[in-house]
Chain A
Amino acid sequence: MNQFLRISVLLLIVSLTTTRSSAQSLYNAAGMGLPVEAIDGRARALGNLGIGLWGNSLLPGDPAAAGMLIMPSAVIVGQPSWVKYDHESGNSGSIRGNRFPLMGVGYPIFSGMFTLSLSSFLDQHYKSQRSSELKLRGEQREVTDLFEQDGSIGSLNFGYSRPLGTSAAIGFNFGRYAGAILRRLERDFSTISLPVTLESYETSSRWTYSGNSLTGGVAANVGSVARVAASVTWSGNLNATASDGTRGMDREFSLPIQYRLGTSVVLAPGLMITASAIRADWANIQGDLDTPTAVGSTNNIGAGVEFSQASLFGLTIPLRFGYRIGKLPFSLGSETATERILAGGLGLSFSEANDIVLGGADIAIERGRRSDSILTEGFWRATISLRVSGF
């Protein structure tokens, strides 16, 4: 127990002292942003969407899986990425950043597992700029408008899961959406002197997000060869409340019901395959958006294979490969944006007792591509999750 607490506290400190999460895509600028899935390194490497994975996992989208944990667990996920983009305007470049999509702990209580997690939901950070011409003192002068949107939406989830017999479990999560968004516009006059340089114009607006969600799920093991899991997330409206001094209005956004289904099958000792799917119809949010945005349904599927008995230098190091394909809810162009990702990864066990991993890491490397009619992004993304278990 003491060891678990120490490690959990250490993970929390690490998460709080590292760099803040930041943007990783220009699709953050589309609609309400880019979804950020709260899944760990193992699921990433397997192309899994965060449900139906054989073994121990603490994922908000698979609340029943926590019911199959037998001891306190904690997980933290870090995710650096490197992105290159090409815009149809000819604008191209690269960006890189980090984020922490998931931190969670589970603790057994009342014959089940109580879970608490902080997960990312939508990333909205981006910058933009434009040049304009003004007539000042009878002459056309060029000014630059610099815009920055800094915001993200996350969810604080409280959950409870419990086993049903020896091979099944149910669970639920109550989620509270939280986050804020700051939109700041600056008009830069540094190129104009009348006879001194003009002061910049700056304005900003800030909103805080709130809302509720409820996720319910079931998971069942079919003997010792397969696991099947399903979950549904219902969300109330996402409320954006303007801060004092913000000239913008309060807003509400409809969030879709998310359906998840996943399975893992052990084909042979040390060989497992997994497949998962998620569906969410974001169509209702279109009426809530002021900016014309292409909105679609996210029908994502993923599949992967794990060789859990692979070894390297005498150590058992599970090797994982996966592929996933799906659609993004918001696009910059007129067509729905798609995302394809090829992934690989491995697991590391730092400490084990009775075949239970007490401390370990899962690492995934993904090579992906997002594109719509005007923007294409190619990215490398690493996901590193640290997990600890034990009393």
Chain B
Amino acid sequence: MGIAACQEESPTTLDANLLPEEPITLEIEIPWEDFASDLEVFGGYGAPWELGTGVIAKAFAGVLDARTLARFGAYPRVHQVRDTTGTTRPDSSLTFVGGRVVVVFDTIASTDNGPVRLGLGATQTRWDNRTVTWVTAVDTLNDLTPWPQPGAGPVTLIGTTVWDPAEGDSAWFELDSLQVEAWADTADLSRGARIESLTENTRLQISKVALRLDTRPSSNPDTLVVLTAQRDEISFVYNPFPEAPEDGIRIGGAPAWRTILNVKMPDKLKGPAELCAAAGGCPLEIEPLWLNYAAISLTSERGEQAFQPTDSIGLDLRQVLRRDALPKAPLGESLAGLLGYRVGPDAFGTNAGTEIEIPMTEFVRDLLREQDGNATPTKTLALLSVFEPISIAYASFHGPGDESAPVLKLVVTVGRPMELP
């Protein structure tokens, strides 16, 4: 039917007089004591090996020592080699005559700009990559084995080298054929490389460790071929392990820290006056759809210097589904999105005191929707890093009981009752 085919267009006028009275939009800041309580900081989520990177430090900030442990996988057994007649064929009789451990640094996440002296040693004690710490080599079920020397020691010293960031992002240690032979036995659980810093007040992040093998093939003994043994395991140990803050908020680290708090909305709002006027009087119950924006606002602080972030940290916010099951309580979906809310490292150093807002509008709307009579339910939130663990460093924020305590920031719009013309 022709009439039905016509496109509909609604008449739209820009005459502001034809609109209902303008709604009022206001910012409201709710102090900690009116919206949050029961703050607790839990540590121990994840382990350093999950990072897949290493950290080395020596008396960094006067306190932090860290060493990286790595194990290499099985050496290559066959390689395509051109023989003396010029024919390329597989050679399974390889002789490893030496090699080197190559260490690649994350220059952004490292704290030093000048040359750093590094040491490489071979571990002598059986150690477990997943449970290794500064004092324990193995901490598994029915097996608690301490290091003979705290700090993954003792080791057989292999060599030292100097890494100068101005010359590149990597350093290497030469290995003789005996050491190469010693690390070839993959059944030996004590094998491993311990990398440490010998220069004080340094903290470096290792992004990659590789073992390059100098190989002499049987089919062409005059040729030296360099092969790579894949890195099998990597972790790091450090000391001291930071204590949980009494009042502050801590997020991140390896193992990671989480901060838990209870949140509820105030039963009624008693101001500001403009809001009361628009809503027809106070005290006022906020309706969920009046809420345009809600965010928990944290004020960053300088944490322990040894664990100061050197790269940005993604902050996440999730609902704790069962507080009584902490620290292993299940968490809800992220309220901060896939990448979380990223905060630069300066916020915990030179720009300490920066206000960081983590939006949670839909969460607060849900709190208001579940309002039972005059009271909103209390829910528990966890502040954590998007990936756990993310680095040895952690983010610190002011906690309750301080003038920079977290606040709940709201943007609320209230319309006047809409009448017919």
Binding site for B on A (CB under 8 A): 14, 17-19, 22-26, 28-29, 31-32, 78-80, 83, 85, 87, 89, 91, 93-98, 125-130, 132, 134, 136-137, 143, 145, 147-148, 181, 183, 185, 187, 189, 194-196, 198-205, 207, 240, 246-249, 251, 289-291, 293, 332, 374, 384
Q: Which residue of A lies closest to B413 (CB)?
A: A201
**Interface positions of B from 17 to 58, Cβ below 8 Å from A:** 17-20, 22-23, 25, 27
Contact A125 B3 (CB under 8 A): no
User: In the complex, how many angstroms separate the beta carbon of B253 from the nearest chain A beta carbon?
Assistant: 24
Which residues of the partner chain B approach A251 to less than 8 Å between Cβ atoms?
A: 419-420
Question: Is B411 at the interface (CB under 8 A from chain A)?
Answer: yes
Question: Is B14 at the interface (CB under 8 A from chain A)?
Answer: yes
Question: Is B292 at the interface (CB under 8 A from chain A)?
Answer: yes
Q: How many residues of B contact A (CB 8 A)?
A: 41
Q: Which residue of B lies closest to A88 (CB)?
A: B15
Complex-state Cα separation, A111 to B240, whole angstroms? 106
- Per-position 1/0 for B299-333, Cβ under 8 A of A: 00000000000000000000000000000000000
User: In the complex, how many angstroms separate the beta carbon of A367 from the nearest chain B beta carbon?
Assistant: 18
- Give the contacting residue for A29; candidates B13, B415, B417; CB below 8 A: B13
Complex-state Cα separation, A196 to B411, whole angstroms? 12
Which residues of the partner chain A approach B6 to less than 8 Å between Cβ atoms?
A: 19, 80, 96-98
Q: Which residue of A lies closest to B418 (CB)?
A: A205
Between A and B, how many residue pairs show CB distances below 8 Å?
Answer: 174
Contact A128 B295 (CB under 8 A): no
Which residues of the partner chain B approach A202 to less than 8 Å between Cβ atoms?
A: 289
Which of B6, B13, B413 has the most C-beta atoms of chain A within 10 angstroms of its own C-beta?
A: B13
Question: Is B4 at the interface (CB under 8 A from chain A)?
Answer: yes
Given A87-B15, A207-B420; A96-B7 close (CB under 8 Å): yes
Q: Which residue of A lies closest to B357 (CB)?
A: A195
User: In the complex, how many angstroms separate the beta carbon of B275 from the nearest chain A beta carbon?
Assistant: 13
Contact A128 B13 (CB under 8 A): yes
Contact A289 B295 (CB under 8 A): no
Q: Which residue of A lies closest to B414 (CB)?
A: A201
Binding site for A on B (CB under 8 A): 1-4, 6-20, 22-23, 25, 27, 289-293, 295, 341, 357, 359, 361, 411, 413, 415, 417-421
Contact A125 B14 (CB under 8 A): no
Given A132-B22, A187-B23, A249-B419; A199-B14 close (CB under 8 Å): no
- Give the contacting residue for B293; candidates A199, A207, A291; CB below 8 A: A199
Which residues of the partner chain B approach A83 to less than 8 Å between Cβ atoms?
A: 11
Given A95-B11, A195-B357; A147-B293 close (CB under 8 Å): no
- Give the contacting residue for A185; candidates B14, B19, B411; CB below 8 A: B19
Which residues of the partner chain B approach A137 to less than 8 Å between Cβ atoms?
A: 27
Complex-state Cα separation, A128 to B17, whole angstroms? 9
Contact A201 B11 (CB under 8 A): no
Q: Which residue of B lies closest to A203 (CB)?
A: B415
Which residues of the partner chain B approach A205 to less than 8 Å between Cβ atoms?
A: 417-419
Closest CB pairs A-B (n = 4): A201-B413, A247-B417, A130-B16, A18-B4
User: In the complex, how many angstroms separate the beta carbon of A143 from the nearest chain B beta carbon?
Assistant: 7
User: In the complex, how many angstroms separate the beta carbon of B418 from the nearest chain A beta carbon?
Assistant: 4
Contact A290 B421 (CB under 8 A): yes
Complex-state Cα separation, A205 to B417, whole angstroms? 8
Contact A201 B289 (CB under 8 A): yes
Which residues of the partner chain A approach B411 to less than 8 Å between Cβ atoms?
A: 136, 189, 194, 198
Contact B361 A14 (CB under 8 A): no
Q: Which residue of B lies closest to A196 (CB)?
A: B359
Given A137-B27, A251-B420; A126-B341 close (CB under 8 Å): no
User: In the complex, how many angstroms separate the beta carbon of B270 from the nearest chain A beta carbon?
Assistant: 21
Complex-state Cα separation, A127 to B9, whole angstroms? 10
Contact A185 B13 (CB under 8 A): no
User: In the complex, how many angstroms separate the beta carbon of A308 from the nearest chain B beta carbon?
Assistant: 25
Complex-state Cα separation, A272 to B229, whole angstroms? 106
Which residues of the partner chain B approach A17 to less than 8 Å between Cβ atoms?
A: 4
